[in-house]
Structure 1
């Protein structure tokens, strides 16, 4: 892994603060002397961004969770090919707001798709390109939805924000189960804390697991 960058993902329900913490983590890593590519899902490459618009508009909901999962997988393949893998190969660190765990939680647990079906789809779309570290920002569903509503203001809720509290509680449980199943990859962060406290917890996890300072020194 010495010549390869590191791949960090942030996961969690609506309103957990993933985008804010992705930006803050990008600044911290850049300040350490690392090249950083911050990206997101769905999206992160031109074709994937086009699919993002289709998915979040609610147009794809009519295809059911299977159809949505396939669209997410198609976007993820392009995202990996066009953005993530080229960055990692040149030694950059990639910080992604969501990745494959979102499909496990949203279409798998909340959409009632079998875990085996999701695993097969992930094997095709992701293959060996798993994150080195996944930070799961955890908070109660009601708190997350309230934050998302405040952030949205008078705007319309997107496809997933519009789902009920039960859907979002299922997402929370799914993420915590993912973290429990893969403790070597995942760290749960209390997202109810202040943005500064969450940033500090994120940085502690990144320092402990991936040693960004050491990586920056080795790259010089």
Structure 2
């Protein structure tokens, strides 16, 4: 399959384990880019379309539905295919910056590296099939010790007054350690695209590092 083509635009993704702060960072980066007058779209996976919202509910919150690992992976891929077709590609073709909270790397790390049924390489191949070979221009991976990440996630849940954890948040520490290992392997494999950020430092330091790199990327794109 040929890589999906687009005229202009810039595709940025943010990745990380539980409690890494990527969702907060996504919003801060979006606000920063809007403040600069950039045409930017903030979206997330799963859940970036109406279909995706239903899939997200099943994947993360429908405890009455007992998903096996095959069904889980296929639902993520269905979300991804619809998301690219309906939201991401139209925005890129329109010259926008697309900022996405999770994309294929999440599925490779969680369903490939951390689950037992599939290899990361196989899941990566399926993700590329679902997205017609669309690859982000730049990915920020927020790395931190899973123990700290789960602690932060738990504190955030209590602060927000949530009554329950989602399906992935409930996984054992060993699962999240494998997720981190999967991400680090991806960062080594795709070092020209994935920038690893130390998420164990302050949110402000993380944000400053991310906007510095983003500004450099925007300058590169404007000069080509």
- TM-score by length of structure 2 reads 0.90
Corresponding residue number in structure 1 for 2:142: 137
SS in 1 for 2:12: strand
> How far apart, CA to CA, are the structure 2 residues paired with 1:139 and 1:61?
31
1:23 aligns with 2:27: yes
Alignment of 1:144-163 (within 5 A): 144-153=149-158, 154-163=162-171
Which sections of structure 1, spanning at least 5 residues, go unmatched? none
Which residue of 161, 167, 191 maps to 1:183? 191
1:73 aligns with 2:77: yes
1:89 aligns with 2:93: yes
- Tell me the CA shift for residue 132 of structure 1: 0.4
Counterparts in 2 of 1:129 and 1:165: CA distance versus 1, 3 Å: same
1:60 and 1:68 in contact (8 A); partners too: no
SS in 2 for 1:63: coil
> How far apart, CA to CA, are the structure 1 residues paired with 2:6 and 2:29?
21
Alignment of 1:46-61 (within 5 A): 46-59=50-63
Which residue of 163, 175, 179 maps to 1:167? 175
Which sections of structure 2, spanning at least 5 residues, go unmatched? none
Alignment of 1:82-121 (within 5 A): 82-112=86-116, 113-121=118-126
> How far apart, CA to CA, are the structure 2 residues paired with 1:59 and 1:72?
17
1:54 and 1:60 in contact (8 A); partners too: no
RMSD: 2.1
> How far apart, CA to CA, are the structure 2 residues paired with 1:18 and 1:193?
13
- TM-score by length of structure 1 reads 0.91
- Tell me the CA shift for residue 67 of structure 1: 1.3
1:6 and 1:94 in contact (8 A); partners too: yes
> How far apart, CA to CA, are the structure 1 residues paired with 2:78 and 2:129?
10
Counterparts in 2 of 1:53 and 1:78: CA distance versus 1, 3 Å: same
Q: How many residues align?
A: 216
Counterparts in 2 of 1:208 and 1:15: CA distance versus 1, 3 Å: same
Hey, which bits of structure 1, 4+ residues long, moved more than 6 A? Answer: none
